[in-house]
Structure 1
Amino acid sequence: MGKVTGFKEFERQDENYTPVKDRVQHYKEFTVPLSEAEITKQGSRCMDCGIPFCHSGCPLGNLIPDFNHMVHQGEWQKASWLLHSTNNFPEFTGRLCPAPCEKSCVLGIIEDPVSIENIEKNIVERAFQEGWIKPQPPKTRTGKTIAVVGSGPAGLAAAQQLNRAGHTVTVFERDDEVGGLLRYGIPNFKLEKEIIDRRIAILKAEGINFETNVNVGVNYDVKNLKDFDAVVLCGGATQRRSLPTPGIEADGVVQAMDFLTQQTKVLFGKEVKDQVMATDKHVIVIGGGDTGSDCIGTSNRHGAKSVVNFEIMPKPPGHRSPTTPWPFWPLQLKTSSSHEEGVERNWLINTKEFVTDEHGKLTALKTVNVEWKMVPGERPQLIEIPGTEKTWPCDLALLALGFTGPEATIAEQLGIETDARSNYKAEYGKYQTNIPNVFTAGDMRRGQSLIVWAISEGREAARQVDLYLMGKSDLPSKDMSGDLVAL
C-alpha cells in the first residue's frame, strides 16, 4: 500500500491554522489545506503492514489502506468510491472525528501515524469539486414507508441507506433545520453549515423527505407513526448533565449546548431572545471534553475578559499511557485549536458553590482541589484536599458535562424498554426494540458517543430494517472483525 518506502521518506504533515488573532474575528473554518502534492505524499506513508488495524479501530470499517493507496497513485475518483462505500458522510468525519483509526495505525507504533482523517477530508472535498458525488435515487420503489426520527448523523445515514434499498423514507427533525447536533451543537468554525446543506441537497434529490419543526411525541402524535411500515429512532442522547452544587440556579450558569446553539442560530439570522454572551466576562467552562473546547473557542470570539477551564479528572499524559497500549484508544492529553486561542486549563478541581450577588447573578465560583483514590474492586473515590479552597471571579459558567442519555418522551409514549442508563433498549447488531417494527440507533441506543459510531449504527440499523421488511437485504454490513461484507 502506498509507496513501499514512503513511511521512511516522508514525515507526517497536518493542515495548518490561520493565526489566532485573525481566526477569532470570525466563525468560518480556518484550516489551511495542504497541496495536492503533499496529500499524495501523506497517502504514500501508508505501510504495506500485512494486517492493518486502522479499519478495525474505525467503527465504520473504512477501507483505509485502499483509499490511501489510490491517493498515492493519484486515483482520486477511485479513492472517493472506496471511501463512500463504507461512510455516507466523510465530509463530517473528516472534520469532526477524533480519528480512532489513526490511534490504531501500525505505523503509529514507531512513528507519527498516517494522517488518515485529513486524507479522508481531502478525498471528499475533491469529489465534490469534481462533481463525482451525485444523487443516486433507487431504480425501483418497494412500496414500504419508513419514518426516521432525528436528522443527526445516525438518522441521515439510516435514511440514505434505506432510501437506496427502495423504501420511501421520511425524516422528522424537531428543530427548524436538518442536521441535529451537526447543525446547532457544533460551532461553525469547526463545521460550516454549507457543508451540511450540500449533502442534504443530495439526499433530497435521491428522494428522501424531510419534515422540520416536528417534535415526535410533543407536537406530532406518536400514533401517527403507525402509518409507517417501520420506524427508526435516532434522536440522540440529549439529556444534559448538571451538578448537585449550591447556586446552580444562578443567573449566569448556562448549559453549554444552549450557549453554542444560540450562537449558531444568531450567526444565520435566526431570532434568539436574550442571547447569552461572553463579551467582557470572566468565563469558566466546567468540563474538559470537545463541547467544553467549543465553548472556549466561542467565548474567545465573543471577546471574553478571561476564559478558564475546569476538569475534575487528572491531567492526561502527553504521550500514550501504558494503561492504553496500541492499538487501543489512548488516554492522552488533547490540545484543540480552541485551547490554543487562549484558556487557563485546570485539572483535579471540583466546583463547590456558585456564588451570587443579592440579585441572584453569578459573581464567583468556589472550588477545591481533589484527588482520586483507587481501591481494587471498588469504584474510584473522590477525595477533597484540605486547604486548597479557592474563589474564582466568574460572570458566566458554562456546563459542558456531557449527556446522561436520550429523552424519555418517545419511549414512554410508545412503551419502549430502556436500559439502566435510560438508553432505548435494542441489541447491538439487531437494533430492534421490544416493538418489532421500531428500531433505534446511534446515541439514543448506545449513549453519548462518536460521530463514526452514529453513522455506523445508522447504516447497520438500516440493513436490519430492510431485512425485517423484505426478508433479505443487499445493503452492506460491517461484521465484528471490522471487514466490509456483502450479506
Structure 2
Amino acid sequence: MADPKGFLTTPREEWPRRPVAERVRDWNEVYVPGALLPIVGAQAGRCMDCGVPFCHEACPLGNLIPEWNDLVSREDWRAAAERLHATNNFPEFTGRLCPAPCEAGCVLAINQPAVTIKNVECAIADRAWEEGFAPPVPPDRLSGRTVAVVGSGPTGLAAAQQLTRAGHTVAVYERDDRIGGLMRYGIPEFKMEKRHLERRVEQMRAEGTRFRTSTTVGRDVDAAELRTRYDAVVIATGATAWRELPVPGRELCGVHQAMEYLPLANRVCEGDLDSSPLSAAGRRVVIVGGGDTGADCLGTAVREGAASVTQLDIYRRPGTERDEDAEPWPTYPRLYRLSAAHEEARDLRTAPVAEADARLFAASTLRFTGDGEGRVRALCLVEVDSARRPVQGTERTLPADLVLLALGFSGPDPGDGLVARLGLAMEPRGTIARGPDFATNVPGVFAAGDAARGQSLIVWAIAEGRAVAAAVDRFLIDAPSRLPAPIGPYDRPMTA
C-alpha cells in the first residue's frame, strides 16, 4: 500500500475523453492521447490493499489488482506488467472493453467512488508494449501434440496462446478474412483501435501459433475430418446466432441486425470499402436494444452522419445509486451509465424525443410500417411496466429509415454445420453442452466461451480461454497441467 491515505486524499479521476465535436469526426479512440499516464499513479495509490480484496472475486480472471496498483503507484512498470500478464493474456483489450465488474467489487466502492482499476490496467498494458515488457514467449520445447482452435475471438486467442506456450502446436481457424472475431468486426474502432489486436496477433505468430483465415469449419473444412487431424479441438466460435424480433413489418427493407451493420463500418475503417452499404448517413435511425451492442451502433451512426438516432431500451431507466436491497455490494449493479456514445448523442441531440441522451426507456416495439416500395418508414412502440406489459394509451410512432436490432445472441450459429457434423450435444438454451472439464460429448472436443457459456463479457471470455487451455493440456499430457484455470464451466458472476 504505497499511500495509506490515498483513498482519503485523492479523488477519483478517470481517463478524460476528447471533446465530442472533435471525436465524432474520426474513428480514433475516444480518449485524450497521453492523458492517462500523468494521473494513473495517484489513482493506483487510492487502492487500500484490502485484507480480503473482493475485486479478485468480482473478476473471473482473478487479476492481482492490489499488487499491480501498488507497483504502478511506485512506478515499477516492469513488475506491474508481469503481475498483470500473469492472469490476463490481453489486458489492453479488457482495459478498453470490459465494463469493470472489479470496480463494482472494490471495497472502497461500499461508500466512495471505486479505484479506477480499468484505467490502471490499460495504462500498464500500453506501457508494457512501449517499454518492451510484452515480448513473445515461445515454448522451450514442443510436445508433439496438435490442437485446432475454431474461432479467433478472445476465448479462442487466449486458449491458443496458452496452449502454444505450453508446447503444443496450435492452429486457429477463423471464418472471416482477418483474425479477431467480434473484436475485429463487431467492436467499433472508436472503442478499440485494431492496432492493439494486430500487435497481439503478431506476438502469437512469433510464439508459434498458426492462423487459418477465411476458413469456415463445417463448410470449407469438414468438422469430422478436423477432429481426426488434431489431437484435440477447441470450439470457441462465440454466440453468433442473433436474437430476432418477430413483429409485423420485420421483413421490410431497412430493418437489419446490428451484426449486419457494424462489420461493414469496421470494414470501411480497415480500408476494404469506401463507404458502408448500410451507412446511416442522412437517415433516421432507431436502435432496438439497450445494451453495449446498441451503444456501439449509436456511436457508429453518429460518426456516419445520421439525421437522427434513437435507442430503445425495454428496461426502465435505472438510478444513479446502487440499490442495496436488490443489488448489494459487491455485485455488479444496474446503474444509469453514460457511455461515450451516449455522451455524444446527448451533446449533439441526436434524438429530440429522448429525455436525456438518445435512449427511450421502458419502450417495446409493436410493429414496423413501410412505404409502397417495401421500405421501412416508421416504428410503432409502446411503454411497458416493470413486468414488460404494455401500458394502455402510450403507443407512439417514430420515423425510421434504418432500424438496427441489437437484442443479443443465443448461442453458436447452427447454420455453419459445425455442431451437426461433429455431433455435439446441445443445451436447451442453444449453447454447446459440456462437462466439468470443458469436454463435450465427443472425445477430444472441448467447448469454451460464449458458444458454451452464452453471451457474456470479454473478461469471462478470456477466463474461459485460459481455463479450457488447462483442461486440454491435461487431456493431452494425461497429467496435471501447469496452466492456470481461473474458472470452471459452471461458474457465474456474483449475484444477490
Tell me the distance in 1 between the aligned counterparts of 2:359 and 2:39: 34
Contact map agreement 1:7 1:44 (CA 8 A) in 2? yes
Q: Which residue of 2 aligns with 1:333?
A: 336
Q: Supply the distance in 2 between the matched residues of 1:133 and 1:247 (Cα, whole angstroms).
A: 52
Please give the alpha-carbon distance, in whole angstroms, between the structure 2 residues aligned to 1:206 and 1:34. 32
Report the TM-score when normalising by structure 2: 0.93
The alignment partner of 1:283 has SS state of strand
Amino acid at match of 1:153: P
Match of 1:194 in 2: 195
Matching of residues 31-430 of structure 1 within 5 Å: 31-32=31-32, 33-34=34-35, 36-225=37-226, 226-271=228-273, 275-322=277-324, 323-342=326-345, 343=350, 344-373=358-387, 382-408=388-414, 409-427=417-435, 429-430=436-437
User: For 1:80 and 1:127, how far apart are their aligned partners in 2?
Assistant: 6
Q: What does the per-residue CA deviation read over 1:17-45, in whole Å, with 9 as the maximum and x for residues that have no partner?
A: 11111111111112024353421111110
Q: Determine helix, strand or coil for the equivalent of 1:435.
A: coil
| Segments ≥4 residues shifted beyond 3 Å | 33-37, 271-274
- Unpaired segments ≥5 residues, structure 2: 351-357, 492-496
- Structure 2 CA distance, aligned partners of 1:466 and 1:395? 51
Change (3 A) 1:114 1:274: closer
CA distance in 2, matches of 1:35, 1:212: 35
Rounded to whole Å, the distance in 2 between the matches of 1:476 and 1:367 is 49
How far off is 1:391 after superposition? 1.3
The answer on whether the counterparts of 2:411 and 2:431 sit within 8 Å (CA) in structure 1 is yes
Whether the aligned pair in 2 keeps the contact of 1:417 and 1:425 (CA below 8 Å) is yes
Partners of 2:36 and 2:209 lie apart in 1 by 36
What is the Cα deviation at residue 479 of structure 1? Answer: 6.0
Does the residue aligned with 2:290 lie in a helix, a strand or coil? Answer: coil
C-alpha deviations, 1:177-201, integer Å up to 9, x for none?
Answer: 0000000000000011111001100
- What amino acid is the match of 1:310? L
Decide whether aligned partners of structure 1 residues 302 and 111 sit closer, same or farther in structure 2, where only a CA change above 3 A counts.
same
**Deviation sequence 1:246-267 (CA, Å, 0-9, x none):** 0001111011111110011122
SS of residue in 2 equivalent to 1:384:
coil
Are the equivalent residues in 2 in contact too, given 1:321–1:332 (CA < 8 A)? Answer: no
* Contact 1:150/1:173 (8 A) holds in 2: yes
Do the aligned partners of 1:173 and 1:215 also contact (CA within 8 Å) in 2?
Answer: yes
Corresponding position: 1:2 with 2:2: yes
Structure 2 contact 268–276 (Cα < 8 Å) conserved: no
Specify whether residues 37 and 270 from structure 1 end up closer, same or farther in structure 2 by C-alpha distance, changes over 3 A only. Answer: closer
2:321 counterpart SS class: coil
Q: Counterpart of 1:324 in structure 2: which amino acid?
A: E
Aligned residue number for residue 353 of structure 2? none
Would you say the 8 A contact 2:252–2:370 is kept in 1? yes
1:273, distance to aligned residue in structure 2 (A)? 9.1
Cα distance 1:280–1:396, how it changes in 2: closer, same or farther (>3 A)?
same
Deviation of the 1:133 alpha carbon: 0.8
Q: State how far apart, in whole Å, the 2-side matches of 1:397 and 1:37 are.
A: 42
| CA RMSD in angstroms, aligned pairs only | 1.4
Other-structure match for 2:471: 464
Quote how far apart the aligned CAs of 1:272 are.
Answer: 8.2
Q: Deviations over 1:288-338 (max 9, x none)?
A: 100100111011111111111111111111111220010011121221010
CA contact (8 A) 1:139 1:166 kept: yes
Letter of the 1:23 counterpart: R
Residue 14 (structure 2) pairs with residue 14 (structure 1): yes
Contact 1:158–1:459 (CA under 8 A) maintained in structure 2 = yes
Q: Which amino acid aligns with 1:337?
A: A
Contact 1:405-1:444 within 8 A present in 2 as well = yes
Q: 1:451 aligns with which of 425, 444, 458?
A: 458
Q: How many residues align?
A: 472
C-alpha separation between the residues in 2 aligned to 1:50 and 1:157? 30
- Percent sequence identity is 47
The offset of 1:213, in angstroms, is 0.3
Q: Could you tell which deviates more after superposition, 261-270 or 229-238? A: 261-270
For residues 439-487 of structure 1, the C-alpha deviation after alignment (integer angstroms, 9 at most, x for no partner) is 010001100000010000000000000001102211122267x9xxxxx
Deviation of 1:48 (Å): 3.0
CA drift at 1:372: 2.9
2:60·2:487 contact (CA, 8 Å) conserved in 1? no
1:413 partner letter: R
- Amino acid aligned to 2:251: E
Secondary structure in 1 aligned to 2:386? strand
- Take 1:462 and 1:393, find their aligned partners in 2: how far apart are those partners? 49
CA distance in 2, matches of 1:390, 1:348: 13
Distance in 1 between residues matched to 2:447 and 2:337, nearest whole Å:
32
CA distance in 1, matches of 2:274, 2:323: 44
Is the contact between residue 4 and residue 48 of structure 1 (CA under 8 Å) also seen in structure 2?
no
Question: What does the per-residue CA deviation read over 1:52-71, in whole Å, with 9 as the maximum and x for residues that have no partner?
Answer: 10011001000000000110
**1:142-201 Cα shifts (integer Å, max 9, x gaps):** 100000000000000000000011000000000000000000000000011111001100
Letter in 1 for 2:265: Q
- Partner in structure 1 of residue 355 of structure 2: none
Change (3 A) 1:279 1:35: closer
**Counterparts in 2 of 1:35 and 1:354: CA distance versus 1, 3 Å:** closer
CA contact (8 A) 1:262 1:272 kept: no
Tell me, what secondary structure is at the counterpart of 1:304? Answer: coil
- Which SS does the other structure have where 1:202 is aligned? helix
Output the CA distance in 2 between the equivalents of 1:274 and 1:442.
30
How far apart are the structure 2 equivalents of 1:365 and 1:241?
18
The code of the aligned residue for 1:266 comes to V
CA distance in 2, matches of 1:315, 1:359: 37
Seen in structure 2, the aligned counterparts of structure 1 residues 237 and 477 have a Cα distance that, compared at 3 Å, is: same
Moved more, 343-352 or 78-87: 343-352
Deviates more, 1:27-36 or 1:188-197: 27-36
Conservation of the 8 A alpha-carbon contact between 2:96 and 2:192: yes
Give the conservation status (yes or no) of the 8 Å contact 2:268–2:275.
no
Write the distance in 2 (CA, Å) between the matches of 1:2 and 1:55: 19
| Offset from partner CA, 1:83-122 (integer Å, 9 cap, x none) | 0000000010000000000000000111110000000000
2:265 is paired with a residue of what secondary structure?
Answer: helix
Question: Secondary structure at 1:258's aligned position in 2?
Answer: helix
